[in-house]
Amino acid sequence: MSTGTSVAVLLPLALLPGAFFQWAFERNAGRYGITLKDRLLRITGVSAVFLSVSAWPLHRIYANYWTEIRAGSPLPTLMYVAPVAYLLIPSVLGWLYGYSVENNWRMTRTLAGKKRCPTAWDYAFSTSQRGWIRCKLQSGEWVGGIYSSTESPSHTSYATGYPEPHELYLFPIVEMDQENGSFCATEEGEPLIGLGGLLIRWEEIAILNFIADDDEGATNDE
């Protein structure tokens, strides 16, 4: 195998740990600020870290088994586990890191940075907190609903993130008092749930108010 061919084969293999880490991270934490250039730099940097950590075991494999690998000879069972671990470990670490960032774990705040969200929209919907949405549209109509980013059959609201166009889907919706924008309630004081869901686009919004579920008077008239 020529030198050029060897480089063409080994370079993608060297970048795989970073790619699997990045894909797993984005699975939980989203793609904030990601362009092709950003992604390539992150993949290269993370791959360099993993390769530096795994330099000793890779050297051991090369020194002790490279001849058998090239000849197609039988290898120890542990050798067949090594390629799986080479991709599985970065994937697991990326998934855990993304999960910790999305859930705002204290130990990952320093690594992720305080200003990770590129827009105020992304910051507002970046946590897993459950709450209530009051929204006044450009038309003057008030709409609202229950927002929760956690997956639930009864609460499936969703907000898009950068770099996608800003859109908000509310389900379930709550009936609103069009006079003052407060939530309508039943005789028992419970929010009056409407039918179906509601898709709201950024250009339709005049005012958007997020009220955390643990705020006092979250559904009271304001």
Give Cα separations from 28 to 36, 149, 169 (angstroms): 19, 12, 19
Q: State the pTM of this model.
A: 0.61
Contacts 24+ apart (CB under 8 A), 78-84: 82/57
Instruction: Tell me the C-alpha distance between 33 and 131, whole Å.
Output: 26
In this predicted model, which residue has the larger pLDDT, 77 or 24?
A: 24
- Indicate whether 113 pLDDT > 60: yes
Instruction: Tell me the C-alpha distance between 222 and 211, whole Å.
Output: 12
* DSSP 8-state class, residue 164: S
Cis before residue 172, ω within 30 degrees of 0? yes
154-185 residue pLDDT tens: 567 888 877 788 999 999 899 999 999 999 99
